[in-house]
């Protein structure tokens, strides 16, 4: 693709915008006055660069954490500084129980432990995220959970976070997911290590009290649009504009400022765009579990289904101490992501991973492929900070302006712009599916090996995939041929683009979700770490003894299998028609 225009960035302007947000609009918790001012600030800045912008009020279930009380009762008496996690239940009376250390708090970490009626101690990480730690602890019967912060071993920073598993605003049937089942609170890494050491020495009894101010409040989403219309394709680029207490400079003042700068430059070259761009400044990210972006997805479903070509999420760019480049994406955007990385960040190591449903990835149901990218911390720093992937300061009051590396702003803008150019300027869309076909084939073979009796008919899915994979290869080849052609063939390009979009609409929901198209899985759901997460429990079903549980798991699996079968048949039809 010929580069239609040169991007000239005003890095000083971006940095000054980050400073303004961090210093003049701190404490941007959804549903508060500072968050409403932030939404107006985003709108004003977009309009200053000529972009049509709108602030959308959304009534959402959000939560503001308050100080918690944590007392060690034995072997020695003392009080530990703690903060309630957002959406934690409020305790009517102290929860008094023995402490049980469950490590990272995933399913396997409970092996050999009896957590029923006990207060569990976990450590923050994304394996699994806070919401899933809480959900697992509740299922295991824990009475409450203490989450120790990431960071250096002697760090005294207390974490802020939400433990609301339900994605977005709840339905009447999902209300139980929208509040944690057990009280949850955060403590510093230093105090968490102290609790862990006491636990290793012998029994520890603690007393826990929590309070969070939870309720339905107005939050504010800001959107801006360039070169769009109701019947025109568009790229979606967004990030959250809310934040925790304090400056929240990297999370996500830097992302909001970079969004505005991208809008400024792309607006100046709007006439060159084949497709429009929608900029989303989401709200309800931190304390509403993606209430803003999921609302926008629901409200714009038809438009997203028919015309969205991809979603670029910008969250926590330009963190001090980072280097190189890391990108996660749905499989169909992997080739584009890696190619852009090699062309734009020529001296950097490019790390790629599959995109799971985290952050504001509220568009998996409708089938819009997405990507997230930014510079990353060295592995040795992650080890020293207990896997603080976004800095030891992440989700603490120490996320100040000094956590921004001004020198990295231009690099992020260059690469984000290169992604957007591929999505908005390329005659043929940059989705390619050969790699996805291979991944799908390997995963189904793995699952088939776990089920020797083929209880849910996985062999038939393997046969379908064997037919689909060469069809995907042929479609990719045709897309590459049209991309390389000297003369445009608008009819062929229109047809191939329609098929590429349809394939994403068909495959993303089954490749990346359990619930499917019209709902959202709980945030951080363990199953989502795998391809075809609806079939995650195939091995478990094969090991269960005959009885009610085995039969119920079979029902879940056979219905997931049938959804996948339909998707494979539809994908084959899209390729071969």
Q: Is the pLDDT of residue 2 over 80?
A: no
CA 473 vs CA 445, 504, 576: distances in Å: 19, 15, 11
Query: In the predicted model, is pLDDT for residue 269 greater than 60?
Result: yes
Tokens of 517: 């198209």
Please tell me the distance from the alpha carbon of residue 508 to that of residue 490, in angstroms, as a whole number: 27
Largest CA distance in the chain: 79
Query: Same topology for domains 27-61+215-385+396-425 and 67-210, yes or no?
Result: no
Q: For 73-121, how does the pLDDT look when each residue is reduced to its tens digit (9 = 90+)?
A: 999 999 999 999 999 999 999 999 999 999 999 999 999 999 999 999 9
Segments making up each domain of the chain, as ranges: 27-61+215-385+396-425, 67-210, 434-576
What pLDDT does 202 receive? 97
Kindly give the pairing relationship between strand 144-148 and strand 234-240: unpaired
In this structure, of 10-19, 167-176, 236-245, 387-396, the range with the lowest mean pLDDT score is 167-176
pLDDT at 3 (0 to 100)? 54
Is the domain spanning 67-210 CATH 3.40.50.720? The answer is no
pLDDT at 344: 87
Distance CA 273, CA 564 (A): 36
**Distance (Å, rounded) from C-alpha 488 to C-alpha 426?**
11
Which pLDDT band, with edges at 50, 70 and 90, does 220 fall under? very high
Q: What is the mean pLDDT of the chain?
A: 96
The pLDDT tens digits of the residues spanning 307-346 come to 999 999 999 999 999 999 999 999 999 999 999 988 887 6
Q: Is the pLDDT of residue 179 over 90?
A: no
How many Cα atoms within 13 Å fall on the side-chain side of residue 442?
A: 8
How does residue 494 score in pLDDT terms, banded at 50, 70 and 90? very high
Q: What pLDDT is attached to residue 1?
A: 47
Give the pLDDT mean for 521-550: 96
The closest alpha carbon to 287, from 124, 150, 397, 168, belongs to 168
Burial annotation 353-362 (CB, 10 A radius, 16+ → b, else e): ebbbbbbbbb
CATH number of 434-576: 1.20.930
* CATH node for 27-61+215-385+396-425: 3.40.630.10
Note the pTM of the prediction, 2 decimals: 0.96
Between strands 205-209 and 67-74, the pairing is antiparallel
Report the DSSP beta bridge partners of residue 576: none
Pairing of strands 184-187, 144-148: parallel
> How many percent of the chain have pLDDT more than 90?
93
Of residues 173, 83, 180, the one with CA closest to residue 130: 180
CA atoms within 13 A on the CB side of 564: 32
The CA radius of gyration of the chain, in Å to the nearest whole number, is 24
Residue written as token pair 């697992």: 136
Average pLDDT over residues 568-577: 94
């Amino acid at each position: 693709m010929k580069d239609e225009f040169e991007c000239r960035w005003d890095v000083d302007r971006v940095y000054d915008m980050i400073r303004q947000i961090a210093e003049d609009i701190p404490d941007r918790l959804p549903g508060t006055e500072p968050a409403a001012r932030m939404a107006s600030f985003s709108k004003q800045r977009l309009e200053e660069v000529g972009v049509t912008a709108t602030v959308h009020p959304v009534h959402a279930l959000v939560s503001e954490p308050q100080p918690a009380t944590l007392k060690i009762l034995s072997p020695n008496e003392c009080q530990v500084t703690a903060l309630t996690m957002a959406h934690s239940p409020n305790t009517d009376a102290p929860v008094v129980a023995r402490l049980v250390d469950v490590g990272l708090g995933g399913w396997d970490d409970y092996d050999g432990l009896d957590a029923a009626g006990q207060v569990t101690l976990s450590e923050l990480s994304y394996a699994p995220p806070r919401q899933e730690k809480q959900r697992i602890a509740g299922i295991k019967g824990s009475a409450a959970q203490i989450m120790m912060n990431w960071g250096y071993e002697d760090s005294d920073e207390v974490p802020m976070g939400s433990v609301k598993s339900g994605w977005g605003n709840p339905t009447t049937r999902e209300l139980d997911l929208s509040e944690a089942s057990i009280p949850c609170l955060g403590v510093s890494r230093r105090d968490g290590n102290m609790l862990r050491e006491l636990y290793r020495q012998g029994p520890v009894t603690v007393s826990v009290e929590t309070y969070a101010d939870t309720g339905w409040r107005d939050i504010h989403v800001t959107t801006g649009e360039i070169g769009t219309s109701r019947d025109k394709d568009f790229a979606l680029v967004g990030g959250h504009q809310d934040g925790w207490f304090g400056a929240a400079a990297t999370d996500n003042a830097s992302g909001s400022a970079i969004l505005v700068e991208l809008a400024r430059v792309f607006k100046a070259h709007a006439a060159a765009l084949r497709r429009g761009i929608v900029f989303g400044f989401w709200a309800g990210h931190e304390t509403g579990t993606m209430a803003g972006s999921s609302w926008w997805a629901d409200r714009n479903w038809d438009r997203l289904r028919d015309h969205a070509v991809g979603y670029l999420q910008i969250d926590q760019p330009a963190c001090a101490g980072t280097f190189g480049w890391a990108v996660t994406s749905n499989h169909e955007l992997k080739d584009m992501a890696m190619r852009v990385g090699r062309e734009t960040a020529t001296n950097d190591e490019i790390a790629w991973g599959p995109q799971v449903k985290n952050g504001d990835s509220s568009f998996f149901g409708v089938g819009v492929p997405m990507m997230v990218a930014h510079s990353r911390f060295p592995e040795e720093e992650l080890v020293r900070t207990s896997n603080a992937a976004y800095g030891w300061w992440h989700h603490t009051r120490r996320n100040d302006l000094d956590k921004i590396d001004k020198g990295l702003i231009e690099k992020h803008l260059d690469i984000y712009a290169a992604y957007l150019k591929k999505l908005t300027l390329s005659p043929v869309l940059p989705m390619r599916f050969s790699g996805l076909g291979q991944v799908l084939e390997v995963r189904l073979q793995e699952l088939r090996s776990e089920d020797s009796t083929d209880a849910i008919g996985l062999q038939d899915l393997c046969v379908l995939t064997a037919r689909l994979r060469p069809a995907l290869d042929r479609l990719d080849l045709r897309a590459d041929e049209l991309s390389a052609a000297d003369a445009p063939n608008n009819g062929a390009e229109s047809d191939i683009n329609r098929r590429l979009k349809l394939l994403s609409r068909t495959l993303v929901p089954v490749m990346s979700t359990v619930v499917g198209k019209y709902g959202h899985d709980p945030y951080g759901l363990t199953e989502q770490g795998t391809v075809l997460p609806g079939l995650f429990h195939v091995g478990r079903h094969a090991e269960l003894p005959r009885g009610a549980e085995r039969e119920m798991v079979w029902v879940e699996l056979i219905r997931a299998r049938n959804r996948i079968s339909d998707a494979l048949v539809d994908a084959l039809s899209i390729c071969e028609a």
